[in-house]
């Protein structure tokens, strides 16, 4: 049952093979049994899930159900969920019961999904290994000594371990795609503005974007169909019609022009990962695609640019956590300054504090031009690279990460080496483009992700390209041993 | 040493929108604490701002009214600092690209001259909440109802040279924002707030002196007092060999002093950067043109029209057009009474203004409405009563004793214009005062007033003064 | 350019983060390393390049001026650390 796709589960619900309550209970049991070791959930919403499942069953009976009605999923703990604790992986929000629902949550709720719980994540989405979570690291179900990636590590791990058929994630510099790659699942980061950011706790506002994490591109299409769309509460939300993502998902790929940026296959890329990617590219050739080498000459500048822009925005976004209206407040503050400084130092972990400090520095008087403004100019150059590339090709492909999953603790003491593990994903956020990571042949038993980057609002195209590979191969169906 | 005072004003105008600048919470004044602070105003995790169209329209209206360049593209920026009444830890404001660019305003000075004050810019921003310092077991209470109320910050050039000029400028802005209906102008409720940047320099020196920023100037009187106080303070410091430090000073009206706000001063590195939650505001010519069409007649235009149409002096026209309500009242009086506009102006600026001022009543609540005053002026014009008696009638109308006719009737104030009746009284007065009549005739012409007074006394002021004059002169010329 | 303790202290104050002396050294090193990574940007020729604040070329949408929110004070204050009479309480603010 847990290996079934959303489409299959929906059909089973309609056929009466099982009820949503049974399906929900089934996944709750799996979480209970398997998540002790994985730690992919921060909060499991047993009662809420079962009550939502009961409501869904009624809808299913009256025939008012949509494709997602009664399907259990998990939400990254960055999405505000009304009446449910929303921690963002931080001690700061350990007891924060959100008073409202994020738009993504509300839309999925309206579509009848059942929320199993809130998944673990790097604190405030700052990290690539899930080790910065206040609620402990998440373990990769393929090898529990390794990290699941981050920041949506809990969502990736729970979908990989089939503790939920799908989960929501967010991606600021690779936080959907990198853990999807490391956990062997499908993760889509839509175009900036495609999915509402309202109620998604902000890390870096000009980069953050929510997307689905699933076992297949077909399921990602189903999820995105509900998640995407204009939201009047988000000024950066794109007022563009949402196409039918499933309609052309199986379209033929002959004539598709795939660009391989030479910068994504150079130094730093693990040889076995490279081999898996090349294998997948060969599959695409077989499917009728034309493969061209392209260049994204400013690729090497993406990580440094990101580490100015993202911390700058985060330093400001996280100022609201001050111990006054919600969140952690220190004991016995002796004055206002003490309240601020201790509440924040106690409530935020090291990585979050590092980024706040870097961002504060980059915006401070005398450094703004040299850091922030400079980075925004380089960001333009990086974005222009893609614009030029898409004049030649339909999609860009390459590895999602330079390496497969690394060991827990391996990079924890070296922030910069950790940052470099996002080298292929970060530029996509800077440009605001959509990107998807899908599993390809594993390297030494560990999952490897192929990243496919599309032009603005080309999600349907990405899903189509991803789905065709998943029709031709079964990499995406592989599950970790013992699951 | 002769000192020159240099003043620039930053005026925060609360825009009269229904909802807040970035949220759908109400902006109504006086609600119970935190009942009008929604999740966006509270800076809850995950919330996002969406810009209120009306705030933009109002800012543009102001820009058009001062003949400023309205920016086709303006950008919101975050001003980062920690303060308990600032929920997000930053204020959304505009820095590099404000919605309104350079403009100017002409002010009328007491000496009858006028002066052009430059306006550097005007930008949109959100207001902060309020800190209540009453004692909550040694703690401060925070009310965020005001947080997110739209503000237009209007920044002047340092063009003013005295407290009086600063007040004239502030009053002119106050009148303008009320004219164009973007602000209720209520200073007591904080809808219109002035900060003054004040510095002094030796007369003739080009460079500006070090300035202090004065805050908490919530009336025009305080603005004037605080500036004068600050000028004295700075001159004292310099003349005794000290240096003025750049700082923010809070005016304390009760103690009539300003004091340094060091707490706000330290480390004011605001780390401005474009707010990534908001996009550039782009306004096309059609939008700006449409707003231009909705502008009412502005104070200066109205003043000029009053001067030409009603033959008023610049001074009278300026006072009458200082507020839209006053100007409207005046025009209503002129129209209804069809009387001499000059006489109407004298009454509005004289009796009416005095009564309003005496009883601290707003013109919109005046017990003597424009219609009532017009009725009174008609009775003067048709000689039913004299100007002097009219003041008595006005006072009765002010006390709510009915319209002019009712008061005249009730009090029997109708003017005596019957020549024979007046002649009779003139006769009586002259014959009863033979000594004075004798003296008058022998050249002591000053005594004429005495006779007029006597007649008026007899008639309790009701006799037509012109007729009394004529008949008295005639009578005294006899014998 | 390495950051010294005084720099870090100043930034930490702006960011309102309490940094103990024992953490100072490690943080100064981390921040210096991150700044070194970022340093390569300074070598890039960006003459004439417009800073890119947003991925999409969109303009701000304007909301109609309507009151859509109702009073939720009780709900909002149920998660507040300290309130009284509807007010959020903080240590005395000195002006």
Distance CA A13, CA A17 (A): 6
Chain B positions in Cβ-Cβ contact with residue C89 (cut-off 8 Å): 136, 139-142
**Test the A interface: residue of C7, C8, C18, C24 with most A CBs within 10 Å:** C18
Contacts of B315 (CB under 8 A, 6+ apart): B108, B112
Q: Which of B37, B54, B136 sits opposite C65 (nearest CB)?
A: B54
Q: Do A324 and B142 touch (CB under 8 A)?
A: yes
Distance CA B306, CA B108 (A): 15
Contacts of B157 (CB under 8 A, 6+ apart): B8, B117, B118, B119, B120
Q: What is the mean pLDDT of chain A?
A: 97
Q: Are A424 and A180 in contact (CB under 8 A)?
A: no
Q: Are B146 and B128 in contact (CB under 8 A)?
A: yes
Please choose, from the candidates B67, B62, B52, the residue with its C-alpha nearest in 3D space to the C-alpha of residue B182.
B62
Distance CA A381, CA A368 (A): 19
Average pLDDT over residues B432-442: 85
**Burial call B68-82: b when 16+ CB within 10 Å, e when fewer:** bebbeebbbbbbbbb
For the stretch C1-19, pLDDT in tens is: 688 899 999 999 999 999 9
Chain C positions in Cβ-Cβ contact with residue B280 (cut-off 8 Å): 59-60
pLDDT of residue A136: 97
Residue C81 touches partner A, C-beta closer than 8 Å: yes
Residue A289: pLDDT above 60? Answer: yes
Contacts of B56 (CB under 8 A, 6+ apart): B99, B124, B281, B283, C62
Distance CA A156, CA A243 (A): 26
Beta-carbon pairs below 8 A across chains A and C: 167
For the stretch B226-256, pLDDT in tens is: 999 999 999 999 999 999 999 899 998 888 8
Cis peptide preceding B244, ω within 30 of 0:
no
Contacts of B273 (CB under 8 A, 6+ apart): A312, A316, A363, A368, A372, B77, B78
Residue B82 touches partner A, C-beta closer than 8 Å: yes
Contacts of A414 (CB under 8 A, 6+ apart): none
Average pLDDT over residues A458-468: 98
In SS3 terms, B273-314 reads as EECCCCCCEECCHHHHHHHHHHCCCCHHHHHHHHHHHCCCCH
For the stretch A312-346, pLDDT in tens is: 999 999 999 999 999 999 999 999 999 999 999 99
Chain A positions in Cβ-Cβ contact with residue B279 (cut-off 8 Å): 235-236
Chain C positions in Cβ-Cβ contact with residue A325 (cut-off 8 Å): 76, 80, 88
Q: CA of A473: how far to CAs of A219, A279, A287, B65, B236, in Å?
A: 16, 11, 11, 68, 87
Average pLDDT over residues A44-64: 95
| Domain locations along chain C | 5-43
Percent over 90 (pLDDT), chain A: 95
Catalytic residue among A19, A76, A107, A133: A76
Residue A270: pLDDT above 50? Answer: yes
Out of A372-386, B86-100, B267-281, pick the least confident: B267-281
pLDDT of residue B262: 65
Q: Do A364 and B80 touch (CB under 8 A)?
A: no
Q: Identify the contact set of chain A against chain B, taking CB-CB distances under 8 A.
A: 79-80, 86, 88, 93, 96, 98-100, 102, 197-202, 204-206, 232-236, 312-313, 315-316, 318-322, 324-326, 336, 340, 360, 363-365, 368, 372
Residue A64: pLDDT above 60? Answer: yes
Please choose, from the candidates C23, B27, B470, the residue with its C-alpha nearest in 3D space to the C-alpha of residue A354.
C23
Contacts of B324 (CB under 8 A, 6+ apart): B175, B178, B179, B296, B299
Residue B38: pLDDT above 90? Answer: yes
Beta-carbon pairs below 8 A across chains B and C: 126
User: Residue A248's CB: how many other CB atoms inside 10 A?
Assistant: 15
Distance CA A180, CA A254 (A): 27
Percent over 70 (pLDDT), chain A: 100
Gap from A237 CA to chain B (nearest CA, Å): 10
User: Which H helix or E strand runs over A435?
Assistant: strand A435-443
For the stretch B300-328, pLDDT in tens is: 899 999 999 999 998 899 889 988 889 99
Q: Are A165 and A4 in contact (CB under 8 A)?
A: yes
Distance CA A206, CA C1 (A): 28
Chain A: touching chains (3 or more CB pairs < 8 Å): B, C
C-alpha gyration radius of chain C: 22
> Average pLDDT per run of 10 along chain C, which is 95 residues long?
88 95 90 92 95 93 97 97 96 81
Q: Do B139 and C95 touch (CB under 8 A)?
A: no
Q: Burial level of B206, CB count in 10 A (0-12/13-18/19+)? A: exposed
Q: Do A319 and B89 touch (CB under 8 A)?
A: yes
Specify whether A46 is catalytic.
no
User: Residue B269's CB: how many other CB atoms inside 10 A?
Assistant: 17
How far is Cα of residue A169 from the mean position of the Cα atoms in its chain?
4
Q: Are B44 and A82 in contact (CB under 8 A)?
A: no
Specify whether A446 is catalytic.
no
Distance CA A214, CA A160 (A): 8
Nearest CA in chain B to A238: B279
Catalytic residue among A133, A155, A175, A237: A175
Q: Which of A316, A336, A360 sits opposite B78 (nearest CB)?
A: A316
Distance CA C17, CA A354 (A): 10
Helices (H) and strands (E) in chain A, counts: 15, 11
From chain C residues 27-56, the ones with a CB under 8 A of any chain A CB are 27, 30-31, 33-35, 37-42, 44, 46, 49-56
Q: CA of A452: how far to CAs of A151, A212, A460, B198, B277, in Å?
A: 19, 15, 12, 61, 27
Please choose, from the candidates A50, A95, A101, A38, the residue with its C-alpha nearest in 3D space to the C-alpha of residue A75.
A101
Which string of DSSP letters, residue by residue, matches A282-351? HHHHHTT-EEEEE--TTGGGHHHHHHHHHHHHHHHHGGG-SSSSSS---SS-SSHHHHHHHHHHHHS-HH
Q: Which of C65, C90, C93 sits opposite B17 (nearest CB)?
A: C65
pLDDT of residue B447: 84
B479 pLDDT band, cuts 50/70/90, is low
pLDDT of residue C50: 95
Q: Do A380 and C91 touch (CB under 8 A)?
A: no
Q: Which of B48, B87, B271 sits opposite A233 (nearest CB)?
A: B48
Q: What are phi and psi of B186, to 5 degrees?
A: -75, 105
For the stretch B413-428, pLDDT in tens is: 777 777 788 888 888 8
**SS3 call for A69:** coil
Please choose, from the candidates B54, B159, B208, the residue with its C-alpha nearest in 3D space to the C-alpha of residue B170.
B159
Distance CA B35, CA B16 (A): 19
Average pLDDT over residues A452-467: 98
Residue B263: pLDDT above 60? Answer: no
Distance CA A118, CA A101 (A): 13
pLDDT of residue C1: 67
**Burial call B119-143: b when 16+ CB within 10 Å, e when fewer:** bbbbbbbbbbbbbbeeebeebbbbb
| Number of Cα atoms under 13 Å in the Cβ half of residue A190 | 30
ipTM of the complex: 0.97
CATH class held by domain B419-477:
mainly alpha
Q: CA of B192: how far to CAs of B102, B119, B470, B476, in Å?
A: 21, 17, 56, 63
Q: Are A322 and B89 in contact (CB under 8 A)?
A: yes
Contacts of B343 (CB under 8 A, 6+ apart): B377, B380, B381
Q: Which of C34, C42, C63 sits opposite A358 (nearest CB)?
A: C34
Q: Do B37 and C63 touch (CB under 8 A)?
A: no
Pick the residue with more confidence: A92 or B246? A92
B477 pLDDT band, cuts 50/70/90, is confident
Q: Do A98 and B42 touch (CB under 8 A)?
A: no
Q: What are phi and psi of B463, to 5 degrees?
A: -70, 140
| Domain locations along chain B | 3-290, 297-411, 419-477
User: Residue B424's CB: how many other CB atoms inside 10 A?
Assistant: 13
pLDDT of residue B265: 47
**SS3 call for A73:** strand
Gap from C67 CA to chain A (nearest CA, Å): 14
Percent over 70 (pLDDT), chain B: 99
Q: What are phi and psi of C91, to 5 degrees?
A: -55, 150
Q: Please report the beta strands in C1-95, taking only residues with DSSP state E, as ranges in sequence order.
A: 62-63, 83-84, 87-91
Q: What are phi and psi of C27, to 5 degrees?
A: -70, -40
Specify whether A129 is catalytic.
no
Q: Do C90 and B139 touch (CB under 8 A)?
A: yes
Domains, chain A, ordered by start: 6-250 (3.90.1300.10), 301-375 (no CATH)
- With 0.80 as the threshold, say if the pTM is over it: yes
Edge-to-edge order in the sheet of strand A446-453: A41-44, A114-119, A72-76, A166-171, A209-214, A186-189, A435-443, A446-453, A395-399, A257-261, A290-294
For the stretch B363-383, pLDDT in tens is: 989 999 999 999 999 988 888
Q: Do A360 and C53 touch (CB under 8 A)?
A: no
Q: Burial level of A271, CB count in 10 A (0-12/13-18/19+)? A: exposed
């Amino acid at each position: 049952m847990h290996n079934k796709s959303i489409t299959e589960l929906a059909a089973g619900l309609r056929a009466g093979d099982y009820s949503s309550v049974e399906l929900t209970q089934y996944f709750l049991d799996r979480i209970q049994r398997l998540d002790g070791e994985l730690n992919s959930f921060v909060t499991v919403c047993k009662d809420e899930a079962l009550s939502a499942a009961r409501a869904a069953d009624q809808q299913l009976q009256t025939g008012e159900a949509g494709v997602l009605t009664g399907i259990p999923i998990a939400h990254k703990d960055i999405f505000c969920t009304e009446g449910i604790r929303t921690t963002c992986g931080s001690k700061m929000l350990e007891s924060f019961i959100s008073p409202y629902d994020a738009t993504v949550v509300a839309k999925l709720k309206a579509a009848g999904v059942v929320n199993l719980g809130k998944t673990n994540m790097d604190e405030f989405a700052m990290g690539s290994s899930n080790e910065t979570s206040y609620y402990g690291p998440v373990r990769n179900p393929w090898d529990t000594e390794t990290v699941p990636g981050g920041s949506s590590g809990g969502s990736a791990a729970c979908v990989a371990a089939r503790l939920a058929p799908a989960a929501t994630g967010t991606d600021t510099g690779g936080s959907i795609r990198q853990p999807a790659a490391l956990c062997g699942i499908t993760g889509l980061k839509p175009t900036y503005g495609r999915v509402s950011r309202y109620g998604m706790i902000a890390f870096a506002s000009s980069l953050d974007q929510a997307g689905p994490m699933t076992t297949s591109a077909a399921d990602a299409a189903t999820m995105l169909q509900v998640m995407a769309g204009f939201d009047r509460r988000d000024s950066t939300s794109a007022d563009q019609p949402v196409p039918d993502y499933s309609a052309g998902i199986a379209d033929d790929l002959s004539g598709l022009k795939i660009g391989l940026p030479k910068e994504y296959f150079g130094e730093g890329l693990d040889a076995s990962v490279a081999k898996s990617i090349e294998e997948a590219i060969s599959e695409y050739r077989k499917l009728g695609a034309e493969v061209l080498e392209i260049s994204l000459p400013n690729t090497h500048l993406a990580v440094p640019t990101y580490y100015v822009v993202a911390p700058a925005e985060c330093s400001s976004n996280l100022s609201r956590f001050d111990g006054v209206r919600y969140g952690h407040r220190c004991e016995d503050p002796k004055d206002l300054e003490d309240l601020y400084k201790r509440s924040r130092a106690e409530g935020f972990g090291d990585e979050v504090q590092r980024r706040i400090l870097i961002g504060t520095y980059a915006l401070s008087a005398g450094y703004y031009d040299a850091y922030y403004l400079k980075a925004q100019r380089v960001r333009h150059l990086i974005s222009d690279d893609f614009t030029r590339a898409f004049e030649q090709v339909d999609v860009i492909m390459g590895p999602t990460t330079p390496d497969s999953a690394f060991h827990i603790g391996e990079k924890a003491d070296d922030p910069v080496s950790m940052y470099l593990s996002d080298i292929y994903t970060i530029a996509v956020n800077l440009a605001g483009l959509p990107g998807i990571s899908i599993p390809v042949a594993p390297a030494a038993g560990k999952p490897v992700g192929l990243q496919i980057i599309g032009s603005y609002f080309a999600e349907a195209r990405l899903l189509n390209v991803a789905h065709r590979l998943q029709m031709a191969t079964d990499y995406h169906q592989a599950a970790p041993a013992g699951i | 040493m002769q000192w020159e005072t240099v003043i620039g004003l930053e005026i925060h105008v609360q825009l009269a929108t229904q909802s807040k600048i970035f949220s759908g919470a109400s902006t109504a004044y006086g609600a119970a604490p935190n009942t009008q602070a929604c999740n966006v105003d509270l800076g809850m995790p995950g919330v996002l701002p969406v810009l209120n169209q009306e705030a933009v329209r109002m800012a543009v209206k102001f820009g058009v009214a001062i003949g400023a360049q309205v920016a086709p593209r303006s950008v919101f920026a975050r001003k980062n600092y920690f303060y308990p009444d600032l929920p997000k830890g930053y204020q959304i404001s505009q820095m590099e690209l404000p919605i309104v660019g350079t403009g100017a305003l002409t002010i009328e000075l007491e000496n009858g001259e006028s002066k052009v004050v430059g306006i550097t810019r005007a930008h949109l921003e959100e207001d902060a909440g309020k800190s209540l310092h009453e004692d909550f077991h040694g703690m401060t209470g925070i009310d965020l109802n005001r947080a997110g109320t739209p503000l237009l910050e209007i920044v002047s050039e340092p063009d003013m040279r005295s407290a009086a000029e600063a007040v004239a400028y502030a009053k002119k802005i106050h009148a303008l924002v009320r004219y164009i209906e973007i602000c209720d102008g209520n200073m007591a409720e904080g809808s219109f707030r002035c900060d003054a940047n004040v510095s002094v320099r030796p007369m003739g020196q080009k460079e500006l002196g070090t300035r202090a920023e004065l805050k908490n100037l919530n009336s025009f009187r305080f603005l004037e007092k605080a500036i004068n106080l600050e000028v004295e303070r700075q001159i004292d410091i310099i003349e005794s060999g000290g240096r003025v430090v750049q700082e923010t000073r809070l005016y304390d009206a009760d103690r009539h002093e300003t004091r340094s706000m060091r707490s706000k001063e330290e480390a004011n590195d605001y780390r401005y950067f474009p707010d990534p939650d908001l996009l550039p505001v782009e306004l096309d010519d059609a939008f700006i043109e449409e707003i231009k069409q909705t502008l009412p007649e502005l104070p200066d235009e109205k003043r000029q029209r009053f001067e030409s149409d009603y033959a008023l002096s610049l001074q009278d026209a300026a006072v009458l057009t200082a507020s839209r309500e006053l100007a409207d009242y005046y025009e209503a009086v002129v129209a209804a009474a069809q009387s001499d506009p000059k006489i109407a102006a004298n009454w509005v600026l004289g009796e009416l203004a005095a009564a309003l001022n005496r009883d601290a009543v707003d013109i919109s609540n005046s017990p003597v409405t424009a219609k009532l005053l017009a009725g009174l002026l008609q009775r003067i014009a048709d000689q039913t009563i004299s100007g002097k008696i009219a003041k008595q009638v006005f006072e009765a109308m002010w006390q709510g004793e009915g319209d002019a006719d009712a008061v005249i009737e009730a009090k029997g104030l109708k003017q005596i214009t019957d020549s024979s009746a007046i002649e009779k009284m003139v006769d009586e007065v002259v014959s009863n005062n033979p000594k004075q009549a004798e003296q008058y005739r022998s050249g002591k012409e000053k005594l004429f007033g005495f006779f007029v007074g006597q007649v008026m006394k007899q008639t309790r002021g009701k006799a037509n003064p012109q007729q009394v004059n004529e008949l008295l002169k005639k009578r005294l010329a006899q014998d | 350019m390495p950051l010294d303790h005084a720099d870090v202290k100043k930034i930490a104050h702006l960011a309102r983060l309490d940094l103990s002396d024992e953490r100072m050294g490690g943080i100064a090193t981390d921040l210096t390393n991150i700044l070194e990574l970022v340093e390569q940007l300074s070598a890039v020729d960006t003459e004439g390049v417009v800073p890119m604040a947003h991925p999409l070329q969109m303009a701000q949408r304007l909301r109609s001026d309507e009151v859509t929110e109702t009073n939720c004070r009780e709900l909002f204050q149920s998660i507040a650390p300290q309130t009284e009479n509807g007010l959020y309480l903080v240590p005395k603010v000195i002006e």
